[in-house]
Amino acid sequence: MFPRKFPRPGKDRPLRPTAANGKTAGQGHFDDIAAGQESALRDLIIRRSWVQAPPAPQRFCWSEACVTSNVGPRLPNFYRLFYPCRGGGVMRGSVVQKPKGTGRWYVVIEMERDQGTGARRRKWHSGFASKRDAERGLARMLTAQDQGLYIEPRRLTLAVFLTEQWLPAIESTVRPTTFHAYRSHVELYLRPRLGAEQLQRLNPDQLSRLYRELQRFGGRDGKPLSPNTVRRIHATLHRALRDATRWGHLQRNPAASAVKPRQPTLGARDIQTWSATELRQFLVTVSNDRLFAMWRLAAMTGMRRGEIVGLRWSDVNLDAHRIAVRQTVTATGSQLTFGEPKTKRGKRSVALVSRV
């Protein structure tokens, strides 16, 4: 492709053209070329008057992809074709249009060669409407690569990540009821609507639109979901994408910027409780029920259902009229799970009335 004495881009040391008098061109000559005088450079190339020269100080950057040098005046593209980066870097990326002249722009990142075969590895990033956008994306990616934050593109869908990676990984780290809720959110709401989307292409607008749709017709038979349910679905997705960021699949969590439903405020009239008369009437009605002791204990202590069902005789001190809440029972699907209260405040001592 090049004459015998031409340097090979990225292979040979930087070369400098000689002036007409046979001396190496000075700084002023480079400034002239940078100002647009490409004809003189073409004449020099045609005469093949090139000499080997030591690397110049970090003054110019001949490569658009180099971010390691002090970027000064850039030379014409014609000149950069024959020069590697003079700023101490290497050509680590480029922008490409496909199809040429009419298509969209892509960013191509040069990765480290395959350690086994030594083959060249390149990663393509799509989604740029113009060359300027692609160049900006290239600069961002190279900066992230220098900082160790670059994420290689992967064709991993949200459904595959959630069902094959995330749920199996966290199953042993959360309570069974929490895992059951996560899995239900994934199976009922997230996978049917966003499962086919590539994980790295998710954006806050998509998630905000999903939450709006769930509030309008996301329930059974197209019925709306409550804001609280949608907020719990958002919490599940936020946790999953946060883990994807920690595991190196994403650079940032798109759910952190999504617009989630507002937390509804509860007024005094929204909370309905029984009066003392109604509670007394209920206890009279269930006085002959085999679970009457449980009903009365719940009425007199305010203990939760799972706390009452989880009581053992070792937790009851009838002489001191105290009950120690140290175990709970939760229903996960069709199975019952024994465990401890969620928080430290859940472990407590409850006073008994004189007669239960």
For the chain, what are the domain ranges?
15-80, 93-146, 158-257, 276-351
Homologous superfamily of 158-257: Tyrosine recombinase, N-terminal domain (1.10.150.130)
- The tens digit of pLDDT for each residue in 219-250 reads 888 889 999 999 999 999 999 999 999 998 88
Contact 37, 28 (CB under 8 A): no
Instruction: Decide if pLDDT at 212 tops 50.
Output: yes
Higher pLDDT, 51 or 221: 221
CB-CB contact of 41 with 17 (8 Å): yes
Amino acid identity, residue 37? Q
DSSP secondary structure string, 155-167? Answer: --BHHHIIIIIIH
| Cα 22 from chain centre | 58
Predicted confidence (pLDDT) per residue in 85-139, tens digit: 443 444 478 888 888 877 888 888 887 777 888 888 887 888 788 888 888 888 8
Quote the CA–CA distance of 97 and 130 in Å, as a whole number: 9
pLDDT at position 37 is 47
**pLDDT above 80 for 159:** yes
Closest CA to 93 of 139, 49, 127: 139
What pLDDT, on a 0 to 100 scale, did the predictor assign at position 248?
86
Helical axes 27-34 vs 38-47, angle rounded to 10°:
120
Q: Which residues of 197-217 are buried (b: 16+ CB within 10 A; e: fewer)?
A: eebbebeeeebbebbeebbee
Residue 94 one-letter amino acid:
S
Residue type, 150: Y
Residues in CB range of 135: below 8 A, 6 or more apart: 64, 95
pLDDT of residue 171: 93
Per-residue confidence (pLDDT) for residue 24, from 0 to 100? 44
**Residue carrying structure tokens 């936020």:** 238
pTM: 0.57
Distance CA 83, CA 85 (A): 6
Q: Residue 4 pLDDT more than 50?
A: no
Q: In a 3-state reduction of DSSP, which class is residue 308?
A: helix
What pLDDT shows up at residue 244?
94
- Per-residue confidence at 179, pLDDT binned at 50, 70, 90? very high
Helix (H) or strand (E) holding 169: helix 167-170
What pLDDT is stored for residue 335 in this prediction? 79
Q: Report how far residue 160's alpha carbon sits from residue 154's, in angstroms, rounded to the nearest whole number.
A: 12
Share of the chain above pLDDT 70, in %: 70
How high is the pLDDT of residue 354? 62
Question: Which structure tokens are listed for 232?
Answer: 């719990």
For residue 269, what pLDDT band results from cuts at 50, 70 and 90? low
Question: Stretch 60-73: mean pLDDT, rounded?
Answer: 40
- Say if residues 88 and 68 touch (Cβ distance below 8 Å): yes
Taking 70 as the threshold, does the pLDDT of residue 44 lie above it? no
Long-range contacts of 191-198 (CB under 8 A, 24+ apart): 191/158, 191/159, 191/162, 191/163, 194/158, 194/159, 195/157, 195/158, 195/159, 195/162, 196/157, 196/158, 196/159, 197/157, 197/158, 198/155, 198/156, 198/157, 198/158
In which band, very low, low, confident or very high, does the pLDDT at 39 lie, cut at 50, 70 and 90?
Answer: low
Cβ(349)–Cβ(356) below 8 Å: no
Element spanning 207, H or E: helix 204-217
Residues in the chain: 356
Q: What is the pLDDT of residues 187-198, one digit of tens each?
A: 999 999 999 999
Model pLDDT, residue 125:
80
Of 62, 65, 249, give the one whose Cα is nearest residue 142: 65
> 151 pLDDT exceeds 50?
yes
**pLDDT for 346:** 87
The 8-class DSSP code of residue 187 comes to I
Q: In what order do the strands lie in the sheet with 322-325?
A: 316-317, 322-325, 348-351
SS3 115: coil
Tens-place pLDDT, residues 282-337 = 999 999 999 999 999 999 888 999 999 999 999 999 888 899 999 998 887 777 88
Of 308, 344, 351, nearest in space to 327 by CA: 308
